[in-house]
Amino acid sequence: MTDLTAPRPRISGRAWVLAVLTLVYTFNHVDRQILVILLEPIKEELQLKDSQLGMLTGVAFALFYATLGIPVAMWADRGNRRNIIALALTIWSGMTALSGLAQNYWHLLIARMGVGVGESGGTPPATSMIADLYRPEERATALGIYTTGIGLGIMAGFALGGFIYELFGWRVAFFAAGVPGLLLALVVRFSVREPVRGASDTHQDAGQAPGFGETLRFLLSQSSYVWMLLGCLLICISANAFLVFTSSHLQRTYDLSPGDVALPLGILIGGVGSLGAVVIGAVCDRLSRRDLRWRPWIVAVCGAVALPFAWMFLRAETVWGAYAWNTVPSFIALIYASIAYTASQELARLRMRAFASAFTLFCLTLIGIGGGPWIAGLLSDHFMSAGAEAPLARSLELILLFNAASVICLVLAGRRYREDVERAAARSAA
């Protein structure tokens, strides 16, 4: 049996690599989320419906992001992951800048598809590299730090988008978000080393990566992976529906502008969310040293705690009351992603890790990121046509049912988690 907690030497330079990859992930979410804070002025100028907004922020992006993530991950399990990340960053940054030239819905839709194409090459190789640099008992913390890129990107994207919109309009905001990423791509290419695969484990693997069929069969044979993925998928649907439409909900409910909500939401969703990802990730690592089943269980606890606070956020009488109720959901909102990535590394063999991340990301993106905002938009349009008061709020209330269902799946994921981690390690060492 492989000892997952046996001491291994610390790898030099890994802090720099983690910092750069976290910054790349931050730019990933700046470029992705700047559209969110600008939805209301874009909707007004281009005369769009909520379902079309959901398509822009969800399906149009997610379809390419998720689908291309699989072949990119297979490439990453065989090729140079650093170079893949640098190329991907160049593509998505350029397409973000081009979004500012859109003259109609279809122009913007195509540009967002391009962003999805580029961003498909970011997370799978990055999480695979981090798993090679950090020992198993450190990974939830390391991937929690990496996941702060989501929160930092949201915070920067909201603040940047709101500030530049007030001064120059929404088109210039896309240029300001996209161009710096082109420079960061050069930093990645010329300052980051490609790590040795399995360097932080008790074993390394210089052999050939398994094929698509073998890899997928192994992952689906890990019952804890399947339950973990399903639970995180349900959370992802809820989380992304709220992420996309929280700004619009506040602007419509309390008669505010994008500039009014940009900084408070950026601090809450981005700053508080990033802090939560690191703190809860560290707690998860500590608890998991005693019992690895805390990987899925910590997400289940967070999902259950978030529910009443999210409900009260939608029912708040004042905007500051809404911000207060949203503090707890924001603090725990990102942990599901870092633990999902951690699980995908622990429950897969060494030469399957980039694919495992990509498959996890494929499901979360296509159904969660793609479906969540679209479902919420369709429900909002339905309630509006039915003459309901606050149709968007009613839509988001129903979306919380996905969050509730996730808790059951995550509890079930803990049943065989320890055994499945050992099975993956044993197969890697064979």
pLDDT greater than 60 at residue 7: no
Give me the pLDDT at residue 170, please: 84
Residue 144 in tokens: 């929690």
> Quick count: other Cβ atoms within 10 Å of Cβ 138?
17
Read out DSSP for 81-135? HHHHHHHHHHHHHHHHHHHTT--SHHHHHHHHHHHHHHHTTTHHHHHHHHHHHS-
Provide the b/e sequence for 362-391 (b: ≥16 CB within 10 Å).
bbbbbbbbbbbbbbbbbbbbebbeeeeebb
Question: pLDDT class for 304, splitting at 50, 70, 90?
Answer: very high
Residues 6+ apart with CB under 8 A from 194: 80, 81, 82, 129
According to DSSP, residue 2 is labeled: -
The single residue listed with the structure tokens 């008061």 is: 389
Please report the pLDDT score of residue 310 as a whole number. 93
Residue 174 above 80 pLDDT?
A: yes
Instruction: Pinpoint the alpha helices (H) of 169-293.
Output: 170-191, 212-221, 223-254, 258-265, 273-290
Q: Which residues contact 273 (CB under 8 A, 6 or more apart)?
A: 150, 151, 154, 330, 331, 333, 334
Residue 5: predicted pLDDT:
45
Assign 216 a pLDDT band (cuts: 50, 70, 90).
confident
Kindly state the average pLDDT of the residues 306-331: 93
Query: What is the pTM for the complete model shown?
Result: 0.69
In this predicted model, what pLDDT tens digit does every residue of 112-122 receive, in sequence order? 888 888 887 78
Percent above pLDDT 90 for the chain: 20
Given this model, what pLDDT does residue 265 score? 85
Distance separating alpha carbons of residues 368 and 238, to the nearest angstrom: 8
Cα distances from 100 to residues 44, 55, 178, in angstroms, run: 16, 18, 10
pLDDT digits (tens, 9 = 90+) for 256-268: 888 888 888 888 8
The answer to whether 115 and 99 are in contact (CB under 8 A) is yes
Range 6-14 average pLDDT: 60
Domain ranges of the chain: 14-194+212-429
3-state class (DSSP) for residue 175: helix
323-358 tens-digit pLDDT? 999 999 989 887 787 788 778 778 887 767 767 777
Q: Which two tokens stand for residue 66?
A: 């998720």
Residue 313 near residue 326, CB atoms below 8 Å: yes
CB 126 within 8 A of CB 194: no
Does pLDDT of 203 surpass 70?
A: no
DSSP code of 352? G
> Identity (one letter) of the amino acid at 230?
L
How confident is the model at residue 4, as a pLDDT? 43
Written as one string, the DSSP assignment of 354-420 is: HHHHHHHHHHIIIIIITHHHHHHHHHHHHHHHTT-SSHHHHHHHHHHHHHHHHHHHHHHHTTTHHHH
DSSP string, 397-413: HHHHHHHHHHHHHHHHH
Identify the CA nearest to 127 among candidates 293, 324, 364, 321.
Answer: 364
* Nearest one of 396, 209, 204, 404 to 304, comparing CA atoms: 404
Sign of CA dihedral 100, 105, 111, 112: positive
Q: What does the pLDDT read at residue 3?
A: 46
What is the fold, at CATH topology level, of the domain defined by 14-194+212-429?
Growth Hormone; Chain: A; (1.20.1250)
Task: Indicate the pLDDT class of residue 155, thresholds 50, 70 and 90.
Answer: confident
22 and 75 in contact (C-beta within 8 Å)? no
